[in-house]
Amino acid sequence: MNHNSELLQKITEVINKDIRPALNNDGGDISVISLDGNVLSVRLEGACSHCPRATITLQNAVQATLRKMVSEDIEIRSV
Quick one: pLDDT at residue 2?
Answer: 67
Which pTM was predicted?
0.88
Quick one: pLDDT at residue 38?
Answer: 93
List the pLDDT tens digit at each of the 79 positions of the chain: 567 889 999 999 999 999 999 999 989 999 999 999 999 999 999 888 887 888 888 888 899 999 999 999 999 999 8
The domain segmentation of the chain, as residue ranges, is 3-78
Rounded to the nearest 5°, which phi and psi values hold at 37?
Answer: 70, -115
Quick one: pLDDT at residue 37?
Answer: 92
3-78 is a CATH 3.30.70.260 domain = no
Quick one: pLDDT at residue 73?
Answer: 95
For the chain, how big is the Rg over CA atoms in Å?
A: 12
Taking a C-beta distance cutoff of 8 angstroms, is the pair 32, 40 a contact?
yes
